[in-house]
Chains A and B, each alone.
Chain A
Amino acid sequence: MAKSWASSWAVNLRNIQKFFGSFFQKRTASFLLLPAPGRWPLLISRLLSIATALIFGGIVFTLCGYDTVRLAVDVAQASFGDLFGLEDLGLIWSPLILTGLAAAVALRIGLWNIGGEGQFYAGAIAATWVGLHVQAPAGIALLLMAVAGFVAGAAWILVPALARAWLAVDEIITTLLLNFVAVLLVTYLCTGPMRDPANAVTAASAHVPYEIPPLLDDLHWGFAVSVVLVFAVALLFGRSVWGYEVRVAGANRHAAEYAGMRVRRRLMQVFLLSGGLAGLAGMLEVAGTVHRLEGGISNNFGYLGIMVAALAGASPLAVLPASFLLALLLNAGIVLQSYGVSKYAVLALTGLVLLSAAVGERLAYYRLAPKLASAR
């Protein structure tokens, strides 16, 4: 009788409300909801919420018997202390920029692309296949791989986009479910058709012969491409007629239709761009870092991109600092593992940052005000 329990619970809620209501009536001040947060309160609340999460995490680490200050210093040392650390950071940062940008692009028209993970894999598959089968000068081959990665990522989101635009099917569900299809597809390919015949031990494709040239030692030009794409997308949204239409459609679909905009077409284009960017991230990971297709190649970058976009408030430019923060946390996690800290502790810390950032975001909409005179 779960249903009946639920309904009697809902009915009983009122008695609980009545009980607690007496406490709330004694407040002397109340929160005023503002129509929009100011720029500074928003920035301050963001920084405060990140700091809160880190301090809270630090307390837990201390309680667990770690020397939190020393850990923090070591993490900073490992991340910023030398070029190797910085390059490692950059290698995590760069895919997060693109997957974060992919999610942020979709959010601009008010939709959630939860499928960055799947599109990342699709891009990686296509890029690997092109890399293994095309014989061309490195530059041309890499370009073809990039195009293949982008197109595959876009193709992976095509069906959810069509379903959303014409049938109003919830894109969160469809894009999410396709992630699992992509994971299984990669596993199948790496153990079957694309498996490296020369390597009987690991389930992975053969080595892709084309590599993105390095920017420094390990860090490759993919990082520069990602950063340039951030500015390009920011320009596209801020300074083009197309971007204006997308912003209006994202802010109020009815108003966009009223103003004569082609909302469905924009929705399709935005989704394809979003999927393409995530696919491109997959291609860069194959051609720049991993050099082969293997299960787990995405490192959850697709999911983490959603977090980046949420932290960035869907602003393309803010994707850069947001993805940097996340890269820092992930990098810290790798460092901390060498001290015997569980990787789940770091994942929990990452979640804590997102949670408190979300809370801070809403709190910026409120202002503490003296209680209004009672209506009585």
Chain B
Amino acid sequence: MTDADPPCAVRLASVTKRFAGVIANDAVDLEVRAGEIHALLGENGAGKSTLMNVLTGIYQPDGGQIFIDGREVRFASAAQAIAAGIGMVHQHFKLIRAFTVAENIHLGWAETPVRVSRPQMEARTRALAEKFGLDVRPGAVVGDLSAGEQQRVEILRTLSRGARVLILDEPTAVLTPDESAVLIRNLRAYAAAGAAIIFISHKLDEVLAVADRITVLRAGRRVASLLAADCDEPELANLMVGHDVAPRGRQSQGWTPGRVVLELCGVSARNDRGLPALRNVDLAVHAGEILAIAGVAGNGQRELTEVLTGMRPASQGQVRLDGRVMRADPAAFLAGGVGHIPQDRLKNGLAPSMSIADNAVMREYRRPPLARGPVFSRVAAAALAGRIIADAHVAVPNMHAPVRNLSGGNQQRLVARREMRVASRVLIAAYPTRGLDIGAIGTMLRYVIEMRNSGIGVLLVSEDLEEVLQIADRVAVFFAGRVMGIFPTEDADGEKLGLLMGGQLA
């Protein structure tokens, strides 16, 4: 940029944001000009959302500066960022479902007249919708609208607050192809009218089609800012995943697959909203291997782990454990030797209000010596809990304190250790290192490798490709509920994985 150019609509200068022990954004620079669509590309955890939360005043940066139209600003709250013309459309809409579109537009808006009737609000909304060329029905209740319509309401609300910088977080994730096309047409029009648009995505083809410029984040750092016209998908995949991510090979060479222990045959499953989440998946976990599932979060990983542990029924196909066809019953999988480190430990893995001891024995309470007939032995339970806590290196002031008092890392270690004890055949580990610091990550991965070496089949879901390539024997890439490819780790490289994760068949 030369001195003659007008200042950037948004300029972030070495913005740094730390969370307890983790650097989410490490001296990130970003320049977004008025009139452009700027894509922010990166894997989960690359720091995209944190950066945008800093820009929208939700987080305060630990270092760096923010310039809007060349003037430095500091946002103490989201309200201040909105007042400065920055608007964000979140992936999960922040609308009141029971209110009408007009009510949602006027809620919490300084320009809403103090006394206003429903027809007035609807008329104002209609005028706004016309002004911004958005097709919304002011009188409709938001809960009845499709995802695309709800998104238009969000965008209208943001624009009506005078946003000149519009941030959209994965806006096409919830849209049909037609709706996506409409959205992109609208975005181009706003950009042409002088708005600066930040478009967050991990879909390579979409980014190339929509954006004027692209900034790639990886592991909290900015790795590149490019003109979209100058780059192609393989290059972006490499940047997103990292050149340095090369297969390190397995820690035990000369691996030969053991027997198949856990198997999916043509399995389809639906998510909680009843939409297809797994589509005709064939997958086999062998004894003594680590099979890693790579993919951007939300592409069926949760449903996969739940189907593999009996928590979610398959709508089609069979789940076999040691050759036996299994019903969707977690107790049967537990009895068959399947341990499960769940994705949402606070939702599924723990009862937050119960004691650490009660939580530690949640999988073995039925076995002697904890259960003697119908009697639950508190003494035996405390002894077992003590062993698990010690093995997991959980720092516990008092075993009878509620488990929610533990830090996230300690909760994770507790759940992992508990599950490893019952995983005599298979361990399903979803993001086992999430929330752990560097040292604890190494310990956790060593445990996983030890389990593999003792002949247990491990299915590892991870968003950290480096971790995957470091310890996995095979990698399966998931996209939109489908297996895009399964191959030995030696054959995987960043570009190939990145393309498959972005939905491109290599």
Q: Are A258 and B117 in contact (CB under 8 A)?
A: no
Q: Are A252 and B351 in contact (CB under 8 A)?
A: yes
Is B173 interfacial (CB-CB < 8 Å)?
no
Q: Which of B331, B335, B405 contacts A35 (CB 8 A)?
A: B405
Q: Are B350 and A255 in contact (CB under 8 A)?
A: yes
Q: Which of B76, B100, B348, B353 contacts A258 (CB 8 A)?
A: B348
Q: Which of A3, A14, A257 contacts B118 (CB 8 A)?
A: A3
Q: Are A244 and B405 in contact (CB under 8 A)?
A: no
Q: Are B108 and A12 in contact (CB under 8 A)?
A: no
Shortest distance between the CB of A231 and any CB in chain B (Å): 16
- In the bound complex, how far is the Cα of B118 from the Cα of A8, in angstroms? 7
Q: Which of B74, B329, B349, B365 contacts A376 (CB 8 A)?
A: B74
Binds A, one of B127-135, B202-210, B287-295, B369-377: B369-377
A interface, by DSSP: helix, strand, loop or mixed?
helix
Number of A-B residue pairs, CB cutoff 8 Å, is: 118
B interface, by DSSP: helix, strand, loop or mixed?
loop
Is A1 interfacial (CB-CB < 8 Å)?
yes
Minimal Cβ-Cβ distance residue in A for B345: A255
Asked whether A255 and B366 contact (CB < 8 A) given A11-B107, A36-B404, A239-B375, the answer is no
Shortest distance between the CB of B307 and any CB in chain A (Å): 14
A257 contacts which chain B residues (CB < 8 A)? Answer: 311, 330
Is B99 interfacial (CB-CB < 8 Å)?
yes
- In the bound complex, how far is the Cα of B106 from the Cα of A262, in angstroms? 47
| Of listed A4, A244, A256, residue having the most chain B CB within 10 A | A244
Minimal Cβ-Cβ distance residue in A for B118: A4
Asked whether A258 and B311 contact (CB < 8 A) given A7-B99, A376-B74, the answer is yes
Within 8 A of B (CB), among A1-57: 1, 3-4, 7-8, 10-12, 14-15, 35-36
Minimal Cβ-Cβ distance residue in B for A253: B351
A7 contacts which chain B residues (CB < 8 A)? Answer: 99-100, 103, 118, 121
Shortest distance between the CB of B101 and any CB in chain A (Å): 12
Shortest distance between the CB of B99 and any CB in chain A (Å): 7
Q: Are A11 and B103 in contact (CB under 8 A)?
A: yes
Q: Are A374 and B76 in contact (CB under 8 A)?
A: yes
A8 contacts which chain B residues (CB < 8 A)? Answer: 115-118, 121
Minimal Cβ-Cβ distance residue in A for B115: A8
| Of listed B121, B309, B351, B404, residue having the most chain A CB within 10 A | B351
Q: Which of A242, A251, A374 contacts B374 (CB 8 A)?
A: A242
Is B402 interfacial (CB-CB < 8 Å)?
yes
B109 contacts which chain A residues (CB < 8 A)? Answer: 11, 14
Residues of chain B at the chain A interface (Cβ within 8 Å): 60, 74, 76-77, 99-100, 103, 106-110, 112, 114-119, 121, 309, 311, 329-335, 340, 342, 347-354, 358, 362-363, 365-366, 371, 374-376, 378, 401-402, 404-405
Known: A244-B358, A260-B330. 10 other contacts (CB 8 A): A11-B112, A35-B402, A245-B365, A247-B358, A252-B353, A255-B351, A257-B330, A259-B363, A260-B335, A375-B60
Ordered nearest first, which 5 A-B pairs have the shortest CB separation?
A260-B331, A4-B118, A251-B351, A252-B351, A260-B330
Residues of chain A at the chain B interface (Cβ within 8 Å): 1, 3-4, 7-8, 10-12, 14-15, 35-36, 238-245, 247-248, 251-252, 254-262, 374-376
A-B contact pairs, 26 of them (CB 8 A): A4-B117, A4-B118, A7-B99, A8-B116, A10-B107, A11-B109, A11-B112, A12-B114, A12-B115, A14-B112, A36-B401, A36-B405, A239-B376, A241-B366, A241-B376, A245-B365, A247-B354, A248-B351, A251-B351, A252-B347, A252-B350, A255-B347, A257-B311, A259-B334, A260-B330, A260-B333
